[in-house]
Structure 1
Amino acid sequence: MPLHVPPAPAPALRTVLTALSSPTAVREARTPSLLRAQGPVAAELPLPVHVLDRVTAEGVSATRLAGWRFLIRSGERAVAAAETMLTPDGWAFSHFFEGPYITSTERALRQAETMPQSYQPRLLSVPGLYMLTLWLHEDCTADGAAGHPAATDLLVPLAPAPPGIAAHRPHRVAELLPVLTHRATPTRLLGSPA
């Protein structure tokens, strides 16, 4: 089924396009693949980036919107990504970057397109585990900038995933969130002060 990519805020897209058209911004980005890109580049597949701050005692995830990520495509593949962030003055370009999460995101999106159900793709960052997941939200009409993972939504860990968590294997939120919460919670050593 097709993915229903939520529309990014127009000012966020404008800041990315402005940065892409700036030789200084591209040169200072330290992204060799973006510097070597031949021909035109395009900002595509805007995905809202949510951060999992904590899970409450009731099992509800506390997430917040951190920004929007755009894949930067040159020819047939993504060569980099651009991040935007919300500032007191509105949306602003943050930075360009490259690395394994670019190809991993593309792979997870292709995988999601073959699923029998339609989803709204988002990214969910789990900073306590240095982990990024593709969050497949069941409500395709929802505001991509708002909400929390529903128990029946899917999380697809992107590579590299933390040890013991298989990358590119879809998990229901209700199954994976408790595992992530347990792993991100510091354990107390026996006999140590509270």
Structure 2
Amino acid sequence: MRLLVFDTETTGLPKFRSPAIEGANNWPHIVSISWIVLETDTNTEITRKNFLVKPRNWIIPPESTAVHGITHAHAMEHGLDLEYVLHTFLNEPCDAWVAHNLEFDMNVVIHGYIWDLRHVHTPIPARKYCTMKLGRIVCGVDKYPKLTELYAYTFGCPPPNPSMLHTSMYDVEILVDILRTSYALRDRMFGLRATNVLSPYAVHKGNVLHIT
């Protein structure tokens, strides 16, 4: 199975949690979007893409820049057109989408495609998996785990390079590492076990593979 594992950085948060398709000017705009296509049969990375989006008629506010480090001026100078970016993303061959807090990232994409670009329909795959929601079951906790918490549960240590957190490609790389490794998460998603291409230093601890 080919999983399109993706993450977005945005201009902020939605005003309301209603689906993006229900109305404009609610969900934030895309600042950057990154993805890796992972072939689960071999744990092989098929492709990766990372795009900075050029703002159209919106501003990247300083409070959002404080989270992901992307300024409005930098995006205006180096960003690519949203039409090209989302066309590339939505036409990436895959069997399913995966994201940590999928509801947020998917609604951001829908908002960009329908309201910013004025397309009628967003082509979304039938299979979609949220590792934040599944992670609560896997970790056996009452709240949804942060991406860093799911990583720590899987590997027994925090992610390396914490300064890179909240950059879309680094967050995707962390999630791909988890998907390659966590037996419990893969079983919850689609019953596909991690394969023997994993690290030789990996050992079983319960249903989750930890690196020693």
Q: Which one scores higher on RCO, CA 8 angstroms, separation ≥ 6?
A: 2
Which has more helix, going by share of residues? 2
Same fold (TM over 0.5): no
| TM superposition score normalised by structure 1 | 0.28
Which has more strand, going by share of residues? 1
